[in-house]
Amino acid sequence: MCIGQLGNLLPHVTLSANLAQHLMPAWGLSAAEGGLMASGYAFGYMLAVPLLTTLTDRIDARIVLLCGSIVSGLATLAFGIFADGFWSGTIIWSLAGLGFAGAYMPGLKALTDRLPAGDTSRAVTLYTSSFSVGVGLSFLFAQILADRWGWRSAFYATGVGPIAMVGACLLMERRTPAPKAGRLLDFAPVFANREALGCILGYGAHCFELYGIRTWLVGFWTFVAAHQDGPPWMTPVLMSFCFAVISMPASILGNEAALRFGRHRAITVVMIASACVALVIGLNATAPAWVLALLLMIYGLTVPADSGALTAGMSAAAVSEHRGATLALHSTVGFGLSAVGAWGTGVALDIAGGPQSATGWLMVFVVLAAGIALGPLALLWARRAGAEGVARQTR
């Protein structure tokens, strides 16, 4: 499943990796337009994931995973063939996100349905953290291919990646869930589950920050490379790849910290640390390249360190018969705020001076810091609401 997910993720940031250097100059896009086009992926995901993930409570998640992987790959190929401006690019990239909605959380459901009973947090964390390796490979291949053969070649090549998950689906044993009555899209039990809801809202704050920095990471380092004297090997390709790949051990270690010190406490510490690092980067956008490289690697550790713990916490808190609906809401909130993060940071960049302005990049990181700072408030609300509910029951 993790290998299949690496293939499914090859298209994931192909657009973001080529946005600032290739697509925006070629199509004359502003940062807000570029951010909105990139957010189309998350927007398409957000629209489709409630239906597709909730559907896994009624049919084998393997079927949804197979179809979603195929659509994701075909849409990525279509971007390389047909996209020629803002509107066509946004529409096609939204279809790619719609396909990925059938691939990520349904894949997690397909995995957890086939795991033995008991604590599955380490398996879930390994699956979610392999997301980061896939994104790192997406950054790497997309930029190398685009620099050598043009940006369309990057979409052609990464669009083939989902074949890996198609193969995994064909090898997977069948597992049909028990028949279930009632409405398909029934999120009332999920909203009543305050412990799961706290993790879901915290995940939304995490996704806002994560998708925002992934959308503009290459653009930021292009600014740094143009204005600072750094080693020639310290390229946007290398920085974006390293930033993404170190997310995997960070996510695993974050979950281990949650198991040892308490989930809410560990996640809160990580989120506050991430907000602080973002502010430091923004305030030092004109610092020497090696200083910013070090800060970005630290940020690459703090941004994903809460991801595995949040998803594992949501999965553990989910009631088994409503797990598909819980995963659906988890993804809907997460990728909905991902879309806001990509677009909102682009708007902030435009307002404060654009991609060639240090003030513009300061505003980008201020927005990212403000977004992740809301995560601890969501966890605090969930804990207090849960404690009040327990108190009422014991009276």
Tens of each residue's pLDDT in the chain, 395 residues? 889 999 999 999 999 999 988 999 999 999 999 999 999 999 999 889 888 877 887 888 899 999 999 999 999 999 999 999 999 999 999 999 999 999 988 888 888 887 776 656 677 777 877 888 898 899 999 999 999 999 999 999 999 999 999 999 999 888 777 666 566 667 788 888 888 899 999 999 999 999 999 999 999 999 998 888 777 888 888 899 999 888 878 887 888 888 888 888 999 999 999 999 999 999 999 999 999 999 999 999 999 899 888 988 888 888 877 777 788 888 889 988 998 999 999 999 999 999 999 999 999 999 999 999 999 998 888 877 655 554 454 45
Q: Which amino acid is at 130?
A: S
pLDDT at 323: 74
The encoded tokens of residue 43 equal 């927007």
> What are the extents of the domains in the chain?
2-175+185-394
Decide: pTM greater than 0.85: no
Q: DSSP label at 321?
A: G
Identify the pLDDT of residue 125.
Answer: 73
CATH class of 2-175+185-394: mainly alpha
Q: Which two tokens stand for residue 127?
A: 């699956």
The rounded distance, in Å, linking the Cα atoms of 161 and 138 is 10
Please tell me the predicted confidence (pLDDT) of residue 391: 47
Residue with tokens 């298209």, as numbered in its chain: 11
| pLDDT for 366 | 97
The pLDDT of residue 229 is: 74
Q: So what's the pLDDT on residue 394?
A: 47
Query: Which among 184, 376, 189 has a CA at the least distance from the CA of 273?
Result: 376
Fill in the DSSP letter of residue 322: G
